[in-house]
Amino acid sequence: MSYDLNSEAPTTLRPPRELRLQVKSRTAARGHVDGAWWPRSSDPAAEFPALIMALSSWGGPARHMAYHLDDWGPADNTLIVESWAVHLVGSRATPASTVVITGLNLEPIRLLVIPPATPPGPARAVLHAASRSDTVTSVEDILASNGVTPTGG
C-alpha cells in the first residue's frame, strides 16, 4: 500500500484499521508539526507499528521514533516493524503531544498527537488544522484553539 505524500492537499492515510492520520504535503509551510495523529490508546505496542508503516513512504523505513514519555505507556527500546528495527526513545525532552519519526532519508516527520479520549468532533478539527498547508502554529495553540486538553506533558 502506498500513499502520495507529495500532493498539494493534505493526505488522509487509511490502512485497514483506519489510521487516523493527516499529513501536510511536502511543499507545505514548515511549522511546528507536519500533521496530526489520533491514536486509539496510549499503548505504544498497539499504536506505533501502524503509524510507522503508514509513514514509511515519507522517509523510507523508520529507524527512530521519539515520543514524550508522559504521553505513552511503557515501551521497549526497540520495536520490530515488518523486517526492520525502530529505535524508540521516550523522553521528556520531546515536546508533549508530539512524536518525531525519522526514516532512512534522515528527514524527520513531526506529528501532533491528539489524546486518544478526545471526542470525534474536536479530534477531527485538530487533524484538519495541523495538516493545513499554511499551518505553522504550535502544538499547544492548535490543541487549545480546538478545545482539546493535552494529556501527559
Please report which confidence band the pLDDT of residue 10 belongs to, taking 50, 70 and 90 as the band edges. Answer: low
Is the CB of residue 81 less than 8 Å from the CB of residue 49? yes
Of 76-80, 94-98, 104-108, 116-120, give the lowest mean pLDDT range: 104-108
- Residue 145, sorted as left (phi over 0), alpha (psi -120 to 50) or beta, turns out to be alpha
Of 17-31, 58-72, 106-120, give the lowest mean pLDDT range: 17-31
Measured CA to CA, the distance from residue 104 to residue 146 in angstroms comes to 34
Each as own residue / partner, the long-range contacts of residues 76-82 (CB below 8 Å, 24 or more positions apart, any chain) are: 76/45, 79/44, 79/45, 79/48, 79/49, 79/52, 81/48, 81/49, 81/52, 81/53, 82/53
Is the CB of residue 140 less than 8 Å from the CB of residue 150? yes
Give the pLDDT score at 61: 85
Q: Is the pLDDT of residue 9 over 80?
A: no
Q: What is the pTM of this model?
A: 0.84
Q: Is the pLDDT of residue 81 over 70?
A: yes
Determine what percent of the chain is predicted with pLDDT higher than 90. Answer: 62
Question: For the chain, which domains are there?
Answer: 22-145 (3.30.2320)
Of 22-36, 82-96, 105-119, give the lowest mean pLDDT range: 22-36
